[in-house]
Structure 1
Amino acid sequence: MNQAQQSTYTLWWTPIRQRYPGTALCVVLALAGSFLASQYGAPALMLVLLLGFGFASQAADSNLKPGVEFCSRQVLRTGIALLGAGIGVEQLMTVGSLPLLVVLTCVPITIGAALLLGRWLGLPSMQSLVAGVAVAICGVSAAIAVAAVIPHGKLEDRRLLGVLVGVTALGTLSMLVLPPLFAMLGYSESQTGLLLGASIHDVAQAAGAGYLVSDTAGDIATLTKLLRVALLAPLVLLLGALLNRNSVGKAEYPWFLLGFVILFGMNSLGWLSEDLRHALTNTSQACLLVTMAALGMRTSLSSLIAQGWRPFAMLALLSTLLVITAMTSMATYSL
């Protein structure tokens, strides 16, 4: 092997060898969490996160650290890029004007309220922003997408995890509480579906809650929820540009946002086959699971609890505000 070949070999093999132990552990935790989720019906992201917590003491090990950091950054960005394959503008065309108006009202109000509420509670602005987007759009996926465009060092892992844990718990609670609440308030099936889609954080939770009411409510809840998800692409692009406009040197975000936009556009134009779209979406979810394992390993439960009640109070207040805003805007635009 000549010197040039040796240099190339070292350039490619050394990072792989350094990252392998930590990456392998994160993958194993992701697989274990997925298996437990399939057996017990619990959220896979939450289970993987909890498993990651169990290995938090090993994250600083010199053999594991490069791989864990790789999963928490590069694998995360790959997952966000591939997320574009599951989102398209066709959602904007398959629902009437009322869901669109409700969503376009709720999303900016929720994000704006998060920034104001976070300042009042004394929370970091980046944590407030991530919390607002998570509640306003699509829970964990939105929070991770926004965190990926925040300049490195501006958002601590423990604060991101506080948002992820809180929004997952509140999404599950909303799925159980909101359908009977809307029924008690006398809303029709179609109105209930719209409100569920406009206020529950996760796509699967919104759809599940809707179909618990009726097929009509489930269909409308799913479409309304996907309408919120469709706003993730332009919002992440906008935030990426704003948050990194003063960055010196190499920008933090270009390649994976470019991939996100390309896949978003290809899916919107129908250029992705159904099989390919499902494969890319599943790969994206797998990347997010691996990322959750890495984030769990990098944050101890004690540091998460040390944040106190304020982050969780903010998420609860934002979730309540989202429901009230959805109900008010639906009533207003229906007149």
Structure 2
Amino acid sequence: MNAPLPLALAPSWERLKCFYPGVALCTVLALAGSFLAEHYGAPALLLALLLGFGFASQAGEVRLQAGVGFCARRVLRVGVALLGARIGLDQLLAVGWLPLVVVLVSVPLTIGAALWLGHWLGLPRLHSLVAGAAVAICGVSAAVAVAAVLPAGRLEERRLLGVVVCVTALGTAAMLGLPPLTALLGYGDIASGLFLGATIHDVAQAAGAGYLVSDAAGDVATLTKLLRVALLVPLVLLLGVLLRRGESGSGEFPWFLLGFVALFAANSLGLLPPGLRELLVSASQWCLLVTIAALGMRTSVRDLLTQGWRPLSLLCVLSAGLALTVMGLLALLPVA
């Protein structure tokens, strides 16, 4: 009897049949998470993750493993590549010099602090790097983008999931708690928008918090936040070079970064029609939803709990430190 071919050498149709059950289940969980988010106002990524936890026991089934693994790695990279469609140079030019100064000072400080504090807490360096990028740039999107560029097997999935869960919770708390703080600090609309856009993790959360203050504050918060998101381009490219320097072989080249840069350039030059751009941004969001559902299936809640208090402490201290840094910059810079 002939031995079965390895999956990588099997005919395309056979590979599709092998991937289908796992991919289909992850897609259904992503759809369910999106549906619940629309009806209950909770973050879709968090709901997809929780649904994935609920099916963790099924992820070990042989017929699901290939498809779930495909979603956890390959679909993630496609989603990160498509993120380039939401960022453009016009967003950087529109925000002016003041948000640029705040972002260029606070983002490197936060990532550097993450590496130092993570070392002091005894956390793996790559875990600290992912956590620092999540706090400094754009929450879950930055975490999964940095994780995607890491060499395979260098970061445990349960650690990435721990960052995703905690940074989502902290972002929600910041969206509710920071707008009243701007009033206590006596900030005007511009200062409030700068503060909220430079400290809250998710784009939607930062914009929502800004518009809770005023329309002007919401506009500034959105632009400042998008400027932070734009820094994801050079960060991911730099990490792709540094972390893979000295790696043997070429099979792990992060090809998806080329797509990321190409879409960023096309969007900056106005080459993407509005309809196509919206389609690509939506496709990116769906890829990330499917990926998060797959990661949830591959991680048990017990594994997350065994990480202890240190990962959450790292994210809390980084978030507080980022807020204090921005407050200090606003006290030093001339703000209307």
> Structure 1 length as normaliser, TM-score?
0.96
Which string of whole-angstrom CA distances, capped at 9 and with x for unpartnered residues, describes residues 108-148 of structure 1? 00000000000000000000000000000000000000000
After superposition, residues 11-22 of structure 1 pair within 5 angstroms as 11-22=11-22
1:4 — aligned with what? none
1:156 — aligned with what? 156
Counterpart CA distance in 2 for 1:330 and 1:262 is: 35
Which stretch has the larger CA shift, 90-99 or 69-78?
90-99
Contact 1:98–1:330 (8 Å) recurs in 2: no
Counterpart CA distance in 2 for 1:221 and 1:229 is: 12
1:203 — aligned with what? 203
Which string of whole-angstrom CA distances, capped at 9 and with x for unpartnered residues, describes residues 283-324 of structure 1? 000000000000000000000011011000100000000001
Contact 1:170–1:316 (8 Å) recurs in 2: yes
1:127 — aligned with what? 127
What secondary structure sits across from 2:63 in the alignment? Answer: coil
2:252 — aligned with what? 252
Counterpart CA distance in 1 for 2:193 and 2:329 is: 15
1:48 — aligned with what? 48
1:87 — aligned with what? 87
Cα drift, residue 329 of structure 1:
1.5
2:272 — aligned with what? 272
User: Does residue 24 of structure 1 match 2:43?
Assistant: no
Counterpart CA distance in 2 for 1:10 and 1:294 is: 23
Which amino acid is 1:278 matched to?
A: E
Which amino acid is 1:159 matched to?
A: R
> Structure 2 length as normaliser, TM-score?
0.96
Cα drift, residue 251 of structure 1:
4.6
Which string of whole-angstrom CA distances, capped at 9 and with x for unpartnered residues, describes residues 54-80 of structure 1? 011111110000000000000000000
Contact 1:48–1:292 (8 Å) recurs in 2: yes
Counterpart CA distance in 2 for 1:128 and 1:251 is: 26
Counterpart CA distance in 2 for 1:120 and 1:102 is: 27
User: Does residue 169 of structure 1 match 2:181?
Assistant: no
Which amino acid is 1:96 matched to?
A: G
What secondary structure sits across from 2:60 in the alignment? Answer: coil
Count of residues in correspondence between the two structures: 327
User: Does residue 262 of structure 1 match 2:262?
Assistant: yes
**RMSD in angstroms over aligned alpha carbons?**
1.1
- Flag the 1:10–1:124 CA change in 2: closer, same or farther, 3 A: closer
Counterpart CA distance in 1 for 2:61 and 2:144 is: 25
2:59 — aligned with what? 59
1:142 — aligned with what? 142
Counterpart CA distance in 1 for 2:65 and 2:260 is: 28
Which string of whole-angstrom CA distances, capped at 9 and with x for unpartnered residues, describes residues 206-230 of structure 1? 0000001000000000000000001
Which string of whole-angstrom CA distances, capped at 9 and with x for unpartnered residues, describes residues 40-66 of structure 1? 010000000000000111111100000
Show structure 1 runs of 5+ residues with no match. 1-8
1:190 — aligned with what? 190
Counterpart CA distance in 2 for 1:98 and 1:252 is: 39
Counterpart CA distance in 2 for 1:129 and 1:14 is: 38
Contact 1:148–1:253 (8 Å) recurs in 2: no
Counterpart CA distance in 2 for 1:263 and 1:51 is: 31
Counterpart CA distance in 2 for 1:334 and 1:148 is: 39
Give the share of equivalent positions with the same residue, in percent.
67
After superposition, residues 275-314 of structure 1 pair within 5 angstroms as 275-314=275-314
1:214 — aligned with what? 214
Which stretch has the larger CA shift, 43-52 or 85-94?
85-94
Show structure 2 runs of 5+ residues with no match. 1-8
- Flag the 1:23–1:168 CA change in 2: closer, same or farther, 3 A: same
1:320 — aligned with what? 320
